[in-house]
Amino acid sequence: MLILGLQKTTLLDYPGKVASTIFTGGCNFRCPYCHNRDLVIPPSDVMAYSEEEIFTHLIQKKKVLDGVCITGGEPTLHKDLPDFIARIKEMGLLVKLDSNGTNPEMIKSLVNNGLIDYVAMDIKHSKEKYNTIASMKSFDLAAIEESVDFLKEGHIDYEFRTTIMKECHNSEDMDAIGKWLQGAKAYFLQSYKESEQVINPIFTPHSAETLESFVELLKPYIPNTHLRGID
């Protein structure tokens, strides 16, 4: 598995847990706002971690860690992800998976085999506008819908989350997303943070007031809707 980053300890990435975060390389989306450009489109001279380096770290820190977050890039692109996670689970650690939801078969298999404990799935936009963010040459909404439907069945603890940009998301879009995700366990809106380091720095954030109005709009559909990371 291509591992391009390791955050040794975080209190932010796994809700309520002390975790290490592992960043896999490569992604099938090209979200313009992505802050992980070097993970999505790795430079030719990129230095990867060996799996043994990761496990050496996890063994050293096992006493202070509750779990491991696996993020990207898109982790489910890696066929050896289940084997990698199985080694983490053998250590007795929890595993949270961040995913863009394009590989529902992998997500189902990881859940059904007890390999993951929490899923955070990105919802890029309403169904109609999804690929305006994902920016795929060949886009398959059915895979995204399948992942959403599976998570909503409640086999595992999960959240949906959307990064919100002023130029992309309005109240009609939020209403469409609310109707789609209706009944979901948890939904987080994350404000876009301007940066020159993103894939395409063309967006700006909404005001805090507008974001709060989106949360109120969504609550009838998903009562457990919140803002995350607002300064």
Count Cα atoms within 13 angstroms, Cβ side, for 192: 26
Q: Smallest gap, in angstroms, from Cβ of residue 74 to ligand SF4?
A: 5
Q: Which of 4, 19, 40, 218 binds ligand SF4 (CB under 6 A)?
A: 40
Residue 73 burial by Cβ neighbours in a 10 Å radius (0-12, 13-18, 19+): buried
Distances (CA, A) of 103 to 27, 91, 106, 146: 12, 26, 6, 9
Q: Which of 73, 101, 104, 178 binds ligand SF4 (CB under 6 A)?
A: 73
Binding mask 179-208 for ligand SF4 (x = CB under 6 A): ------------------------------
- Interface with ligand SF4 (CB under 6 A), residue total 12
Report d(CA 143, CA 139) in Å as an integer.
9
**Cβ pair 76, 27 in contact under 8 A:** no
Q: Smallest gap, in angstroms, from Cβ of residue 200 to ligand SF4?
A: 11
| One-letter amino acid for residue 196 of the chain | E
Question: β-strands 3-10, 19-24: how paired?
Answer: antiparallel
Query: Given the rule CB under 6 A, which of 14-22, 30-38, 113-121, 216-224 is the region that contacts ligand SF4?
Result: 30-38
Restricted to residues 96-125, the positions that interact with ligand SF4 (CB under 6 A) are 100, 122
Residue 12: CB partners within 8 Å, gap ≥ 6? Answer: none
Q: Smallest gap, in angstroms, from Cβ of residue 181 to ligand SF4?
A: 18
Query: Given the rule CB under 6 A, which of 34-42, 46-54, 88-96, 149-157 is the region that contacts ligand SF4?
Result: 34-42
Q: How far is CA 65 from the centre of its chain?
A: 20
Nearest to 121 by CA among 106, 138, 137: 106
72 binds ligand SF4 (CB under 6 A): yes
36 binds ligand SF4 (CB under 6 A): yes
Query: Given the rule CB under 6 A, which of 17-25, 68-76, 88-96, 204-212 is the region that contacts ligand SF4?
Result: 68-76
Binding footprint of ligand SF4 on the chain (CB under 6 A):
27, 29-31, 34, 36, 40, 72-74, 100, 122
